[in-house]
């Protein structure tokens, strides 16, 4: 496949962001349903299957919490009935923990359009507590375990096992009773998707976290996070269409290496394929997207077939996939710094020549490819590739990053926290 070509090396550390997308693209919302409409449509949760299940869980012997209030108590918000706007009878402050995003200049009311819109609609003034983007889950664990004050609501995606662990330790409270009392949109969602309750329920029977807001009939983007992004301009210049097989991808990468794809007169400044081996960069490993052309696998290298959990790494297809990757690297079609890259390194490499340097990037999200929206617009996702045996697999995890909202035991406004999280489940919010 040609001679090796020297590719540029890059280093430094940064982490993948998610919370900004959640706050600015999803969190801001409208609950424009009047009291009459809410009363006409709402069904008492305790009379429904989901409501009964939640009520049963919420009346189990209370779990002793390990963390009491760390700040002076406040007067509880006076809430309007579920489904009614605004959520409270007067402007009330809710302290919400978010993961900081380098793409958000300000979260403040008046400066951030979504924050402003949300406060005006709900009557809830959000006081945001930002955790650093890098290693935010580790930082959160330390803060919670040390009984630090983490506001009234923790609103960021995390693995359910971690969220459940906070509940087992009494750091976060069970949500079943609050859903029954203050839920409207979330109750409707759980009624329409009964399996979601089981997916969220911890081993002790409690629900410690609400699911990520999602439109009915849609999947969360992270449910199919094993993505490869391809440079649209390079693809157009290539002239042979989107790669559909592993052979097509190899042919395209060869062309990128040899044809001066960006047209700047320097035939050796393009990079065929980059990503990262670091776990902190979601689905950026070379095996994440590609290997499903050779064998099915999840993020950990396993898959289920005929009710049996199987290991992809010991299959012949996986070996063939590794041989394919080795061939690409040997022929100079992949970034030689692939293993050492982090998000910042990817950003800087992709940003060279105004965003016309890298042909393909493995990453779950476009903000891993670049923080520049104009550069992001140059890339589109590659459909699942067909491997040498004629099969193509696509990773889908319907329960990926389910948990998004937890209420710490030290919350001063647990009822308002639930009502506010419920408000974010409104389809009008998600369309915003």
Give the tens place of pLDDT for each residue, 357-369: 999 999 988 889 9
Q: Is the pLDDT of residue 216 over 90?
A: no
- Give 379-408 pLDDT, tens digit per residue: 999 999 999 999 999 887 666 556 678 999
Rounded to 5 degrees, what angle do the CA atoms 205, 207, 211 make? 140
Q: In this structure, what token pair is assigned to residue 199?
A: 């997916």
Listed ranges 105-109, 214-218, 413-417, 425-429; the one with the highest mean pLDDT: 413-417
**pLDDT value at position 5?**
36
**pLDDT value at position 332?**
96
CB proximity list for 133: less than 8 A, separation 6 or greater: 14, 15, 17, 99, 100, 101, 102
Residues in the chain: 432
CA dihedral 197, 201, 205, 210 (to 10 degrees): -90
CA dihedral 417, 420, 424, 425 (to 10 degrees): 80
- Give 116-157 pLDDT, tens digit per residue: 999 999 999 999 998 876 666 677 777 777 766 789 999 887
**pLDDT value at position 221?**
53
Q: In this structure, what token pair is assigned to residue 405?
A: 């909202």
**pLDDT value at position 190?**
85
288 within 8 A of 273, measured Cβ to Cβ: no
Q: Which CATH class is domain 19-220+401-431?
A: alpha beta
The chain-wide mean pLDDT, for the chain, equals 81
Q: What percent of the chain has pLDDT over 70?
A: 77
Confidence of residue 15 (pLDDT cuts 50, 70, 90): very low
Q: Is the pLDDT of residue 214 over 60?
A: yes
**224-381: CATH number:** 3.40.190.10
Q: In this structure, what token pair is assigned to residue 135?
A: 């290693």
215-228 as b/e, with b when 16 or more CB fall inside 10 Å? eeeeebebbbbbbb
- Report, as an integer, the average pLDDT of 345-350: 97
Q: Is the pLDDT of residue 312 over 50?
A: yes
**pLDDT value at position 200?**
85
Q: Is the pLDDT of residue 193 over 90?
A: no
- Give 41-96 pLDDT, tens digit per residue: 333 333 344 555 555 444 444 444 444 444 455 778 899 999 999 999 999 999 99
More confident residue, 361 or 196: 361
Whether the bond into 111 is cis, omega within 30 of 0:
no
**pLDDT value at position 54?**
59
**pLDDT value at position 73?**
58
Alpha carbon distance 105, 372 (integer Å): 14
**pLDDT value at position 218?**
59
- Give 227-264 pLDDT, tens digit per residue: 999 999 999 999 999 999 999 999 999 999 999 999 99
- Give 313-339 pLDDT, tens digit per residue: 999 999 999 999 999 999 999 999 999
Q: Is the pLDDT of residue 37 over 60?
A: no
Q: Where in the chain is the domain with CATH 3.40.190.10?
A: 19-220+401-431, 224-381
Backbone angles phi, psi at 383, to 5 degrees: -65, 160
CB proximity list for 362: less than 8 A, separation 6 or greater: 227, 228, 229, 273, 274, 275, 276, 283, 284, 285, 286, 288, 289, 290
**pLDDT value at position 29?**
34
**pLDDT value at position 220?**
56
**pLDDT value at position 48?**
44
Q: How far is CA 247 from CA 118, 243, 252, 324, 334, in A?
A: 49, 8, 9, 10, 15
**pLDDT value at position 300?**
86
**Stretch (H or E) spanning 125:** strand 124-131
**pLDDT value at position 291?**
95
- Report, as an integer, the average pLDDT of 177-193: 90
- Report, as an integer, the average pLDDT of 345-361: 98
């Amino acid at each position: 496949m040609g001679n090796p070509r020297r590719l540029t090396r890059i280093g430094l550390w940064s982490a993948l962001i998610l919370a900004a997308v959640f706050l600015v693209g999803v969190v801001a919302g409208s609950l424009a349903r009047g009291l009459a409409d809410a009363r006409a449509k709402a069904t008492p949760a305790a009379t429904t299957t989901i409501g009964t299940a939640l009520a049963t869980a919420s009346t189990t012997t209370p779990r002793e919490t390990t963390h009491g209030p760390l700040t002076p108590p406040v007067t509880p918000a006076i809430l309007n009935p579920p489904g009614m706007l605004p959520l409270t009878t007067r402007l009330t402050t809710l302290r919400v923990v978010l993961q900081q995003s380098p793409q958000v200049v300000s979260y403040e009311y008046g400066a951030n359009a979504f924050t402003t819109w949300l406060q005006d609609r709900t009557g809830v003034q959000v006081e945001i507590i930002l955790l650093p983007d890098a290693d935010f889950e580790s930082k959160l664990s330390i803060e919670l375990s040390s009984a630090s004050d983490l506001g009234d609501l923790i609103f960021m995606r995390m693995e359910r096992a971690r969220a459940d662990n906070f509940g087992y330790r009494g750091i976060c409270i069970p949500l079943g009773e609050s859903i029954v009392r203050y839920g409207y949109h979330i109750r409707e969602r759980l009624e329409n998707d009964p399996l979601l309750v089981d997916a969220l329920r911890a081993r002790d029977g409690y629900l410690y976290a609400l699911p990520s807001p999602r439109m009915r009939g849609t999947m969360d983007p992270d449910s199919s996070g094993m993505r490869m992004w391809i440079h649209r301009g390079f693809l157009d210049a290539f002239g042979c269409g989107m790669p559909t097989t592993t052979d097509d991808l190899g042919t395209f990468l060869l062309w990128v290496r040899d044809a001066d794809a960006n047209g700047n007169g320097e035939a050796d400044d393009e990079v065929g394929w980059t990503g990262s081996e670091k776990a902190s960069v979601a689905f950026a490993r070379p095996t994440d997207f590609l290997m499903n052309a050779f064998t099915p696998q999840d993020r950990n290298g396993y898959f289920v077939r005929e009710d049996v959990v199987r290991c992809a790494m010991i299959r012949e297809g996986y070996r063939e996939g590794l041989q394919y990757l080795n061939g690409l690297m040997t022929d100079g079609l992949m970034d030689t710094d692939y293993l050492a890259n982090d998000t910042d390194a990817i950003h800087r490499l992709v940003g060279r020549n105004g965003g016309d340097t890298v042909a393909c990037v493995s990453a779950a999200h476009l903000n891993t490819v670049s923080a520049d929206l104009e550069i992001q617009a140059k890339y589109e996702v590659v459909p699942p590739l067909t491997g040498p045996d004629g099969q193509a697999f696509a990773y889908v995890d319907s329960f990926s990053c389910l948990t998004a909202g937890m209420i710490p035991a030290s919350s001063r406004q647990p009822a308002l926290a639930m009502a506010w999280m419920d408000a974010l489940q409104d389809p009008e919010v998600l369309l915003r």
